[in-house]
Amino acid sequence: YFPQISLTGLLGTQSGQFSKLFTGPARVWSFAGSIAQPIFEGGAIVGQVKQAEAVQQQALYSYRKAIQVAFQEVDDALISSQKVREQFDVQVRQVEALATYAHLARLRYEGGYTSYIEVLDAERSLFNAQLNQTQTQAGVLVSYVNLYKAMGGGWVITAEGLTTQAAQHSGDAAAQSAK
């Protein structure tokens, strides 16, 4: 793109006779410079510069987009985690209330004030709430994993490692059952 500049110098001696080779008039010197610039490139160099600038801009836009996506994923994971945690807290209070209700229903049944159907209904409601609470607790843990991954964390589990762990656990379980 830019011109190529070169400088050349020459110093030496020249004489028709060997005995006068190193005398004053026999010395020769020369100095020359040259400038070379491509003339007929048809705009190829300018096009290459523009292409390089466009590639640079594209990389910058891709980088900005990746940052925006990362922030969005973290934000979504934080919101999801908060919502699931709030739902879990509500279900904990519901399970506590239903456990109290089931206990009171059993006391009323033992006192002869109600039928056993009410006790069974209270226990069924309690068990369903406990099941929902357990499922929501699993959702809380999954949301924590998603948050960890969105923040750049991660892990790689190979099938070989899982097979080894499973074999160890089954061997431990067999040894304990043999005792």
Specify the range with the lowest mean pLDDT, choosing from 20-29, 30-39, 100-109, 137-146: 20-29
Give residue 7's pLDDT band: very low, low, confident or very high (50, 70, 90).
confident
Please state whether 112 falls in left (phi above 0), alpha (psi between -120 and 50) or beta. Answer: left
As annotated, the residues of the chain forming the CATH 1.10.287 domain(s) are: 44-152
**Does residue 135 surpass a pLDDT of 70?**
yes
**Does residue 131 surpass a pLDDT of 70?**
yes
This prediction's pTM: 0.55
Q: How far apart are CA 21 and CA 146, in angstroms?
A: 88
Give residue 101's pLDDT band: very low, low, confident or very high (50, 70, 90).
very high
The CATH number that domain 44-152 falls under is 1.10.287
Q: How far apart are CA 80 and CA 87, in angstroms?
A: 11
Specify the range with the lowest mean pLDDT, choosing from 4-8, 28-32, 40-44, 143-147: 28-32
**Does residue 61 surpass a pLDDT of 70?**
yes
What count of Cα atoms within 13 Å lies in the side-chain half-sphere of residue 91?
22
pLDDT of the residue at 5? 76
